[in-house]
A and B are shown apart, each in its own frame.
Chain A
Amino acid sequence: EVQLLESGGGLVQPGGSLRLSCAASGFTFSSYAMSWVRQAPGKGLEWVSAISGSGGSTYYADSVKGRFTISRDNSKNTLYLQMNSLRAEDTAVYYCAKAEVGATLQGDAFDIWGQGTMVTVSS
Protein backbone atom coordinates (compact mmCIF):
# COMPACT_ATOMS: atom_id res chain seq x y z
CA GLU A 1 0.00 0.00 0.00
CA VAL A 2 1.26 3.44 -0.93
CA GLN A 3 1.64 5.46 2.26
CA LEU A 4 3.15 8.63 3.65
CA LEU A 5 3.59 9.12 7.39
CA GLU A 6 4.62 12.48 8.82
CA SER A 7 6.21 13.04 12.21
CA GLY A 8 8.08 15.71 14.12
CA GLY A 9 5.37 18.24 14.78
CA GLY A 10 4.80 19.85 18.15
CA LEU A 11 4.80 23.05 20.17
CA VAL A 12 7.72 25.43 19.63
CA GLN A 13 8.41 28.99 20.73
CA PRO A 14 8.64 31.83 18.23
CA GLY A 15 12.12 31.92 16.77
CA GLY A 16 12.61 28.22 17.40
CA SER A 17 13.29 25.33 15.04
CA LEU A 18 11.66 22.05 14.18
CA ARG A 19 12.35 19.27 11.68
CA LEU A 20 9.50 17.38 10.12
CA SER A 21 9.90 13.95 8.56
CA CYS A 22 7.76 12.05 6.08
CA ALA A 23 8.35 8.31 5.72
CA ALA A 24 7.25 6.87 2.39
CA SER A 25 6.37 3.28 1.56
CA GLY A 26 4.76 1.29 -1.22
CA PHE A 27 6.36 3.09 -4.16
CA THR A 28 9.79 3.88 -5.60
CA PHE A 29 10.44 7.02 -3.58
CA SER A 30 13.29 8.40 -5.69
CA SER A 31 11.10 8.34 -8.82
CA TYR A 32 8.78 11.06 -7.59
CA ALA A 33 9.00 14.70 -6.67
CA MET A 34 7.59 15.51 -3.25
CA SER A 35 6.04 18.58 -1.66
CA TRP A 36 5.03 19.99 1.69
CA VAL A 37 1.61 21.65 1.94
CA ARG A 38 0.28 23.29 5.09
CA GLN A 39 -3.12 24.27 6.44
CA ALA A 40 -3.55 26.79 9.22
CA PRO A 41 -6.41 26.06 11.64
CA GLY A 42 -9.73 26.67 9.90
CA LYS A 43 -8.00 27.92 6.75
CA GLY A 44 -7.26 26.69 3.25
CA LEU A 45 -4.33 24.85 1.75
CA GLU A 46 -0.97 26.54 1.15
CA TRP A 47 1.83 24.96 -0.85
CA VAL A 48 5.14 25.34 1.03
CA SER A 49 7.98 23.64 -0.81
CA ALA A 50 8.84 21.02 -3.44
CA ILE A 51 11.86 18.85 -4.20
CA SER A 52 12.74 16.77 -7.24
CA GLY A 53 13.21 13.02 -7.07
CA SER A 54 16.98 13.30 -7.00
CA GLY A 55 16.90 16.12 -4.48
CA GLY A 56 18.84 18.37 -6.81
CA SER A 57 16.10 20.94 -7.40
CA THR A 58 13.88 22.72 -4.93
CA TYR A 59 11.23 25.44 -4.79
CA TYR A 60 9.86 27.44 -1.87
CA ALA A 61 6.91 29.69 -1.16
CA ASP A 62 7.95 33.28 -0.53
CA SER A 63 6.48 33.02 2.97
CA VAL A 64 9.11 30.43 4.02
CA LYS A 65 12.05 31.18 1.73
CA GLY A 66 15.26 31.56 3.70
CA ARG A 67 13.75 29.96 6.81
CA PHE A 68 12.70 26.48 5.68
CA THR A 69 14.78 23.83 3.92
CA ILE A 70 13.37 20.82 2.13
CA SER A 71 15.51 17.73 1.67
CA ARG A 72 15.21 14.01 1.11
CA ASP A 73 17.15 10.83 1.81
CA ASN A 74 16.27 8.37 -0.92
CA SER A 75 18.17 5.58 0.84
CA LYS A 76 15.77 5.96 3.77
CA ASN A 77 12.65 6.78 1.70
CA THR A 78 12.21 9.89 3.81
CA LEU A 79 11.38 13.53 3.10
CA TYR A 80 12.31 16.31 5.50
CA LEU A 81 11.38 19.90 6.22
CA GLN A 82 13.79 21.84 8.42
CA MET A 83 11.95 24.86 9.81
CA ASN A 84 13.95 27.68 11.42
CA SER A 85 13.01 31.12 12.76
CA LEU A 86 9.45 29.93 13.27
CA ARG A 87 6.65 32.47 13.55
CA ALA A 88 3.13 32.33 14.89
CA GLU A 89 1.82 32.38 11.32
CA ASP A 90 3.62 29.09 10.63
CA THR A 91 1.15 27.35 12.94
CA ALA A 92 -0.56 24.73 10.78
CA VAL A 93 -1.00 21.09 9.94
CA TYR A 94 1.84 20.15 7.62
CA TYR A 95 1.20 17.51 4.96
CA CYS A 96 3.71 15.80 2.74
CA ALA A 97 2.40 14.96 -0.72
CA LYS A 98 3.63 12.84 -3.61
CA ALA A 99 3.73 14.11 -7.18
CA GLU A 100 1.39 12.16 -9.39
CA VAL A 101 3.62 11.65 -12.40
CA GLY A 102 7.36 11.80 -11.91
CA ALA A 103 10.63 12.97 -10.48
CA THR A 104 11.07 16.37 -12.08
CA LEU A 105 9.60 19.63 -10.84
CA GLN A 106 7.57 20.06 -14.00
CA GLY A 107 4.40 20.59 -12.02
CA ASP A 108 2.18 17.78 -10.86
CA ALA A 109 -0.97 17.19 -8.95
CA PHE A 110 -0.58 15.38 -5.62
CA ASP A 111 -2.02 11.88 -5.68
CA ILE A 112 -0.93 10.68 -2.25
CA TRP A 113 -1.00 12.71 0.98
CA GLY A 114 0.12 11.90 4.49
CA GLN A 115 -2.18 12.30 7.49
CA GLY A 116 -0.45 15.52 8.54
CA THR A 117 1.51 16.66 11.58
CA MET A 118 0.55 19.69 13.65
CA VAL A 119 3.04 22.48 14.27
CA THR A 120 2.13 25.10 16.86
CA VAL A 121 4.31 28.18 17.27
CA SER A 122 3.47 29.92 20.52
CA SER A 123 5.10 31.24 23.66
Chain B
Amino acid sequence: AIRITQSPSSLSASTGDRVTITCRASQGISSYLAWYQQKPGKAPKLLIYAASTLQSGVPSRFSGSGSGTDFTLTISCLQSEDFATYYCQQYYSYPQTFGQGTKVEIK
Protein backbone atom coordinates (compact mmCIF):
# COMPACT_ATOMS: atom_id res chain seq x y z
CA ALA B 1 0.00 0.00 0.00
CA ILE B 2 1.11 3.56 -0.69
CA ARG B 3 1.88 5.41 2.54
CA ILE B 4 0.99 9.06 2.85
CA THR B 5 2.91 11.16 5.36
CA GLN B 6 1.13 14.40 6.19
CA SER B 7 2.68 17.26 8.15
CA PRO B 8 2.34 18.95 10.47
CA SER B 9 -0.14 17.01 12.58
CA SER B 10 -1.37 20.27 14.01
CA LEU B 11 -0.70 23.97 13.75
CA SER B 12 -1.83 27.17 15.41
CA ALA B 13 -2.54 30.17 13.25
CA SER B 14 -4.37 33.47 13.28
CA THR B 15 -7.03 34.78 10.97
CA GLY B 16 -5.34 36.27 7.93
CA ASP B 17 -2.30 33.98 8.11
CA ARG B 18 -0.99 31.95 5.20
CA VAL B 19 -1.02 28.25 6.04
CA THR B 20 0.76 25.39 4.28
CA ILE B 21 0.19 21.66 4.77
CA THR B 22 2.25 19.01 3.02
CA CYS B 23 1.76 15.38 2.03
CA ARG B 24 4.44 13.01 0.84
CA ALA B 25 3.64 9.73 -0.87
CA SER B 26 5.86 6.69 -0.46
CA GLN B 27 5.91 6.28 -4.24
CA GLY B 28 4.91 8.37 -7.22
CA ILE B 29 1.18 8.96 -7.58
CA SER B 30 1.22 11.41 -10.51
CA SER B 31 -1.48 13.97 -9.64
CA TYR B 32 -3.96 11.51 -8.08
CA LEU B 33 -4.24 13.43 -4.84
CA ALA B 34 -7.20 15.10 -3.14
CA TRP B 35 -7.56 17.39 -0.14
CA TYR B 36 -10.51 17.37 2.27
CA GLN B 37 -11.65 19.60 5.10
CA GLN B 38 -13.46 18.10 8.09
CA LYS B 39 -15.15 19.93 10.92
CA PRO B 40 -16.09 18.21 14.19
CA GLY B 41 -19.07 15.90 13.85
CA LYS B 42 -19.31 16.47 10.12
CA ALA B 43 -18.42 14.52 7.01
CA PRO B 44 -15.29 15.46 5.07
CA LYS B 45 -15.69 18.01 2.30
CA LEU B 46 -13.72 17.84 -0.96
CA LEU B 47 -11.59 20.93 -1.50
CA ILE B 48 -9.14 19.99 -4.23
CA TYR B 49 -8.73 17.03 -6.59
CA ALA B 50 -6.13 16.10 -9.16
CA ALA B 51 -3.62 17.80 -6.87
CA SER B 52 -4.49 21.34 -7.94
CA THR B 53 -8.07 21.54 -9.25
CA LEU B 54 -10.39 23.50 -7.00
CA GLN B 55 -13.73 21.81 -6.37
CA SER B 56 -16.73 23.88 -7.42
CA GLY B 57 -17.85 26.26 -4.70
CA VAL B 58 -14.58 26.17 -2.75
CA PRO B 59 -13.08 29.62 -2.07
CA SER B 60 -10.07 30.61 -4.14
CA ARG B 61 -7.94 31.14 -1.02
CA PHE B 62 -7.46 27.36 -1.10
CA SER B 63 -4.90 26.05 -3.56
CA GLY B 64 -3.03 22.82 -4.17
CA SER B 65 0.21 22.00 -5.89
CA GLY B 66 2.61 19.16 -6.54
CA SER B 67 2.92 15.94 -8.45
CA GLY B 68 4.76 12.68 -8.10
CA THR B 69 5.45 12.32 -4.38
CA ASP B 70 5.27 15.81 -2.85
CA PHE B 71 2.10 17.87 -2.49
CA THR B 72 1.02 21.06 -0.77
CA LEU B 73 -2.25 22.59 0.34
CA THR B 74 -2.11 26.34 0.90
CA ILE B 75 -4.69 28.56 2.51
CA SER B 76 -3.66 32.05 1.47
CA CYS B 77 -5.57 34.08 4.04
CA LEU B 78 -7.02 32.01 6.85
CA GLN B 79 -10.62 32.75 7.73
CA SER B 80 -12.50 31.80 10.91
CA GLU B 81 -14.46 29.12 9.07
CA ASP B 82 -11.21 27.43 7.97
CA PHE B 83 -10.35 26.15 11.43
CA ALA B 84 -10.78 22.42 10.92
CA THR B 85 -8.86 19.23 10.22
CA TYR B 86 -7.46 18.67 6.73
CA TYR B 87 -6.70 15.34 5.09
CA CYS B 88 -4.96 14.40 1.88
CA GLN B 89 -5.88 11.22 0.00
CA GLN B 90 -4.14 9.31 -2.76
CA TYR B 91 -6.37 7.61 -5.30
CA TYR B 92 -3.63 6.44 -7.65
CA SER B 93 -4.02 2.84 -6.56
CA TYR B 94 -5.98 0.62 -4.20
CA PRO B 95 -6.05 0.54 -1.27
CA GLN B 96 -6.68 4.26 -1.34
CA THR B 97 -4.94 5.87 1.61
CA PHE B 98 -5.30 9.07 3.59
CA GLY B 99 -2.79 11.20 5.40
CA GLN B 100 -3.00 11.31 9.18
CA GLY B 101 -4.64 14.73 9.18
CA THR B 102 -3.64 18.27 10.13
CA LYS B 103 -5.66 20.09 12.75
CA VAL B 104 -5.64 23.85 12.17
CA GLU B 105 -6.33 25.61 15.45
CA ILE B 106 -6.78 29.21 16.49
CA LYS B 107 -3.64 30.82 17.93
User: Is A107 in contact with B92, judged by CB distance below 8 angstroms?
Assistant: yes
CA distance A56 to B97 in the complex (A): 22
User: Is A108 in contact with B101, judged by CB distance below 8 angstroms?
Assistant: no
CA distance A109 to B95 in the complex (A): 13
Of the listed stretches B16-24, B43-51, B65-73, B74-82, chain A binds B43-51
A45 — which chain B residues lie within 8 A by C-beta? 36, 38, 44, 87, 89, 98, 101
Interface size on A, residues (CB 8 A): 23
Interface size on B, residues (CB 8 A): 26
User: Is A109 in contact with B43, judged by CB distance below 8 angstroms?
Assistant: no
CA distance A113 to B43 in the complex (A): 6
User: Is A107 in contact with B87, judged by CB distance below 8 angstroms?
Assistant: no
CA distance A44 to B87 in the complex (A): 8
Question: Is B91's beta carbon under 8 Å from chain A?
Answer: yes
For chain A, residues 70 to 100, give those with C-beta under 8 angstroms from any C-beta of chain B: 95, 100
User: Is B49 in contact with A107, judged by CB distance below 8 angstroms?
Assistant: no
Expressed in whole angstroms, the minimum distance between the Cβ of B29 and any Cβ of chain A is: 9
| Interface residues as binary, A54-65 with B (CB distance below 8 Å gives 1, 0 otherwise) | 000001111000
